[in-house]
A = this chain, B = another copy of it.
Amino acid sequence: MRFLHTADWHIGRRLHGFDLTEEQDYAFQQIETIAQSEHVDGIIIAGDLYDRSAPAEAAVQQLNRMLQQLNLTDKFPIYAISGNHDSNIRLATGTPWFPRTNFYLYTQLEQAFTPIELTDTQIFLLPYFEPFAAQQYFQDESLQHLDQSVAAVIAEMKTHFTPGKTHILVAHFFVNGSAQTDSETQLTVGGLASVPLSLLSDFDYVALGHLHGKDALQAPQARYSGSPVKFSLSEAHQKKGVYLVDTDTQTITFKPLSPLHDVQQLTASFAELTQPEFYQQYQLTDYFGITLTDTKPIPNVLTQLRTIYPRIISLNRAEGFVEQFSYQGEKRQQLQQQDPLDLLSDFYEHIAQEPLTDQQKKWAAAALKIANQEEK
């Protein structure tokens, strides 16, 4: 059988304030086209369908439309689970009616132990869950951590294995040794919140969600499909797409998706960035994270750059700015007692890598005087 494996749609997500609705729709249309042209037997969505527990109406409308299109119009079976970003309660709305058209969206741990039985395949849908849910289900308070909980879950699943069938697991968790980016939420604070790959070895394929890069896990039979769209600058270098999994030929093929607007990182000086020879090599409607190599102040730098790059999602300096707000603790107390003009001089020097000129000092002193008068 052939399955399309995708995950982490995060419908409703914004990219530094920019609406991603069109990007998501554009990626969705490509996923639909791949599913059609590859004649897949089902579409796997491994969690985080929504970006938020209580998605906005527009996001609800968008996801509803997508799922309806794939299942009711295109007649694809769907095998989906809730992720850590979804409200498993809200996402459960309507789910008891869905299996009549081969749409399985599981949101509760206890559903994971009833595989979906296809001719030659068993699909186990394991929604995102917390160890507490496993404690409840197994009546076992020793299940304190995710690795213990998943071990118990998988042991129980195996008792439902039909020998000779292909066994697929759909899950949403962090597998040990995977590579994270900035844009995935930590599943738990502290604790053993990751799952050893060895636990998953009895499945013929493990379709994972949670990490947004397709290469986050290097394993022969377990993959993160990654998200269909780039959700942060840390994903700028990732190639987005879906996996095609053929259980007969035992092949896994990556199918890339093109972005409507890409996310890119540029590191250059203001002079370079504003030269046509430089910027004409880029698709200027893309989302840009810009790192300036300049050290001197540039008035209205963001406004100026936006006339060329309308979708700037971050702007910082190669030197200094990252440490800008790192003053802490005792140092802060000392700072509060310093003369404002000294503080300004230090700050300027820290950022611009050169001292204030005498003229600049005079301006600053005059401005401080006015500010002090206004306070009184």
Measuring CB to CB, which residues of chain A are less than 8 angstroms from any residue of chain B? 53-54, 57, 60-61, 64, 68, 72, 87, 89-90, 92-98, 100-101, 103
Contacts and interface: CB of A to CB of B under 8 A. Distances in A.
A14 to B, nearest CB: 18
20 contacts: A53-B57, A54-B54, A57-B87, A57-B90, A60-B89, A60-B92, A60-B93, A61-B92, A64-B93, A64-B94, A72-B97, A93-B93, A93-B94, A94-B94, A94-B95, A97-B98, A97-B100, A97-B101, A97-B103, A100-B101
Q: Copies per complex? A: 2
Which of the listed residues A72, A96, A101 has the most CB atoms from chain B within 10 Å of its own CB?
A96
Main DSSP-derived SS at the A contact region: helix
Nearest to A94: B94
A100 B99 CA distance: 11
A351 B53 CA distance: 48
Given A57-B90, A100-B101, 14 more contacts: A53-B57, A60-B89, A60-B93, A61-B92, A64-B93, A68-B96, A72-B97, A93-B93, A93-B94, A94-B94, A94-B95, A97-B97, A97-B101, A100-B100
A133 to B, nearest CB: 15
A66 to B, nearest CB: 12
A98 B93 contact: no
